[in-house]
Homo-oligomer: A and B are copies of this chain.
Amino acid sequence: MSNLFGQNLGVINLGLDGFADVIEAEGGAAARVDWRPPAGGPDAAAALAKLAGNPAVEAANQQAFDRYLASQPVLEGIGIAGETLPGMGPRHILHAGPPIEWERMAAPVKGAVVGAILIEGWADTEDAALELAAGGEITFEPCHHFDAVGPMAGIISPSMPVVVVRDAVSGARTYSNLNEGLGKVLRYGAYSGEVLDRLRWIGGTLAPVISKALEKTGGIELKPLMAQAMHMGDEGHNRNVAGSVMFLKTIIAAALNSDSSREDVAASADFIANNILFFLNISMAACKCMLNAADGVEGSSMATVMARNGVEFGLRISGLGDRWFTAAVEPADGLFFAGYSRDDAAPDLGDSAITETAGIGGFAMAAAPAIVQFVGGTSATAINATNEMTHVTIGRNPAFTIPSLDFVGSPAGIDARMVVATNTPPVINTGIAHKEAGIGQIGAGITHAPMECFEKAVIALADTIK
């Protein structure tokens, strides 16, 4: 032993940096390995012991992941939610995240519901809308229950237009609403006159222009468009600058060759040209499509949904289908617009984490170094986020390559086992809503999924495995 300490010691430090700091301060050398003990209590540990390396789970995950990779989302057209979403009733309002009743909804979601009720003409005033919402006549359900996804509040009511994405492999369809732009918008809980006027214009002008253009182009394959946007500095969640303008370029000539009026095409082109998030919702529907393909593989611990309703974070995994595993959400932190701070922030919100679930967004941040202007950090933050997510993912998606990492695929297919075993919560890029209804977006940042959902999912999955 004394012989050992007489030598020039090389130290490998697992986990907490404090130990390596001390050794280096004393002139020693320490290689740092980012290691954390597994998350969760004895139940999670027992579940992990059952699931880790389990051949049935490994095979199930590979199957789910292969289905996700094979999926070919195609933007097929634009529909009206109430006519297009199978099972949506005339008094349905869909929202982001896992199920939640009106009383418990976050303020921005309530604001967006008020806006939707006014748009639908079910009430004429804010007070009447609030009364109606509380009265039990309206059915609130998650977008995900209808194969749909909506950013932030994610409100979809029957008259709203939706993008329709079809999986060329299975024929299954997924949906999202149309992006309204930045600032005061329904999805951030604003419902003033300008917000509702814009929504009416989107339904009455923009949606038909895009719909007719898509009839001319035929379906648009979305993975090549998403991949190209990633080569142009988008990560596909908080940054959709390239995707939005590439989408405009893809449809503009077709829009002009359709029977839409010249004025409507000009106004639509102007709207998309000035909405750097326009492609987000389309990309989200494509992500939902790829993940639906991976859903329902018995024994698989691959995440198929991560979604927030502003109160709870909800996770679904392939092997347990429609079950939600939930935990409380925390307020998002990041860069705030002038005049706002973390104290003003609503808890984390939106179905847009479907992008991270599908291996883009925060998982592809290395493709989007410019995003750190918007969410904070340095270019190393972006690279590290992508690299860290390789610890919790089943593989890489060769369709979504990252130029700055020499065209390696983005890490994809979150394995709930690996999240718990490495105590590494999935990274999520996000917008930040004001905690009160009616105000809108106040910032953007980087957040993480709560570990508790993954622990619950792993425990539940272990119960199904012999």
Residue interface mask A243-273, B partner, CB < 8 A = 1: 0011011101100110000100111011001
Q: Does A406 contact B (CB under 8 A)?
A: yes
* Inter-chain contacts of A228 with B (CB < 8 A): 241
Contact A257 B252 (CB under 8 A): no
Complex CA distance for A407 and B382, rounded to whole angstroms: 13
Complex CA distance for A228 and B245, rounded to whole angstroms: 12
Q: Which among A232, A245, A265, A405 has the highest number of chain B CB atoms within 10 Å?
A: A232
Residue interface mask A210-253, B partner, CB < 8 A = 1: 00000000000000000010011100000001100110111011
Complex CA distance for A100 and B218, rounded to whole angstroms: 51
Contact A250 B265 (CB under 8 A): no
Closest Cβ of chain B to A89, distance in Å, is 39
Complex CA distance for A233 and B403, rounded to whole angstroms: 9
* Inter-chain contacts of A75 with B (CB < 8 A): none
Q: Does A139 contact B (CB under 8 A)?
A: no
Complex CA distance for A231 and B228, rounded to whole angstroms: 14
Contact B403 A369 (CB under 8 A): yes
* Inter-chain contacts of A404 with B (CB < 8 A): 369, 379, 404
Complex CA distance for A231 and B369, rounded to whole angstroms: 8
Contact B241 A245 (CB under 8 A): no
Q: Within the complex, which residue of B232, B256, B369 is in contact with A265, where a contact is CB–CB below 8 Å?
A: B256
Q: Does A113 contact B (CB under 8 A)?
A: no
Beyond A231-B233, A262-B262, whether A273 also contacts B253 by CB under 8 A is yes
Interface size on A, residues (CB 8 A): 33
Closest Cβ of chain B to A190, distance in Å, is 25
Complex CA distance for A231 and B367, rounded to whole angstroms: 11
* Inter-chain contacts of A266 with B (CB < 8 A): 252-253, 256-257
Q: Within the complex, which residue of B241, B250, B267, B378 is in contact with A273, where a contact is CB–CB below 8 Å?
A: B250
Closest Cβ of chain B to A362, distance in Å, is 16
Contact A249 B256 (CB under 8 A): no
Closest Cβ of chain B to A65, distance in Å, is 26
Q: Does A372 contact B (CB under 8 A)?
A: yes
Complex CA distance for A421 and B252, rounded to whole angstroms: 52
Q: Does A54 contact B (CB under 8 A)?
A: no
Q: Within the complex, which residue of B249, B253, B262, B378 is in contact with A249, where a contact is CB–CB below 8 Å?
A: B249
Q: Within the complex, which residue of B233, B250, B270, B403 is in contact with A379, where a contact is CB–CB below 8 Å?
A: B403
Closest to A255 in B: B266
Contact A253 B232 (CB under 8 A): no
* Inter-chain contacts of A249 with B (CB < 8 A): 245, 248-249, 269, 273
Q: Does A373 contact B (CB under 8 A)?
A: yes
Complex CA distance for A246 and B404, rounded to whole angstroms: 22
Contact A370 B403 (CB under 8 A): yes
Complex CA distance for A270 and B217, rounded to whole angstroms: 12
Q: Which residues of A, 349-392, contact B by the 8 Å Cβ criterion?
A: 369-370, 372-373, 378-379
* Beyond A231-B370, A232-B242, A262-B262, 7 extra complex contacts between A and B, CB < 8 Å: A242-B245, A252-B266, A253-B267, A253-B270, A369-B404, A379-B406, A404-B404
Chain A: residues with CB nearer than 8 A to chain B?
228, 231-233, 241-242, 245-246, 248-250, 252-253, 256-257, 262, 265-267, 269-270, 273, 369-370, 372-373, 378-379, 403-407
The 9 A-B residue pairs whose C-beta atoms are closest, nearest first, are: A256-B266, A369-B403, A253-B270, A370-B403, A249-B273, A231-B370, A232-B232, A369-B404, A232-B233
In the assembled complex, 29 residue pairs joining A and B whose CB atoms fall closer than 8 Å, in A order, are: A228-B241, A231-B233, A231-B241, A232-B232, A232-B242, A232-B370, A233-B233, A233-B403, A242-B242, A245-B246, A248-B248, A248-B252, A249-B269, A249-B273, A250-B273, A253-B266, A256-B262, A256-B265, A256-B266, A256-B269, A257-B266, A369-B403, A369-B404, A370-B403, A373-B403, A378-B406, A379-B405, A379-B406, A404-B404
